[in-house]
Amino acid sequence: MKKRARRNHSSALKAKVALAAIKGDRTLAQLSEQFDVHPSQITIWKDQLVEFAAEVFERGSNGKARAPAVDIKALHAKIGELTLENDFLEAGAPRYRQEAGGASPPR
């Protein structure tokens, strides 16, 4: 028996299947045949939709998810730290290449 390749379903398909399952006008077997998805997968998607449906209405009035709180000062500090480290390593790189006998890469 040949195994079927693993498929990644789009979120739009998952929503469509879950909504059809919630409507209840067709059985899981019928939905499974129609969408070519295993019945247990349909049940999982339906449960996820029911569980997280309230989050749709918790968002702002523009319909977009709120951006997570970000500490700008910490990010700027990390950028400065990485820039300093990068500059230090670039300054030592030509000397290391000469000692190793290698050619310097083109810029």
Flag whether 67 is in a domain: no
Flag whether 107 is in a domain: no
* pLDDT recorded at residue 58: 77
Q: What is the mean pLDDT of each run of 10 residues along the chain (107 residues)?
A: 82 92 93 93 93 79 64 92 91 71 58
Residue in this structure with the two tokens 């569980």, named with its chain if needed? 51
Q: How many domains does the chain have?
A: 1
pTM score above 0.85: no
Flag whether 106 is in a domain: no
Flag whether 49 is in a domain: yes
Flag whether 75 is in a domain: no
Q: Which of 75, 4, 80, 77 is nearest to 36 (CA)?
A: 4
- Residue range of the domain that includes 31: 11-62+80-100
Q: What 3-state class would DSSP assign to 100? A: helix
Flag whether 27 is in a domain: yes
Task: Please give the structure tokens belonging to residue 10.
Answer: 């789009």
Flag whether 29 is in a domain: yes
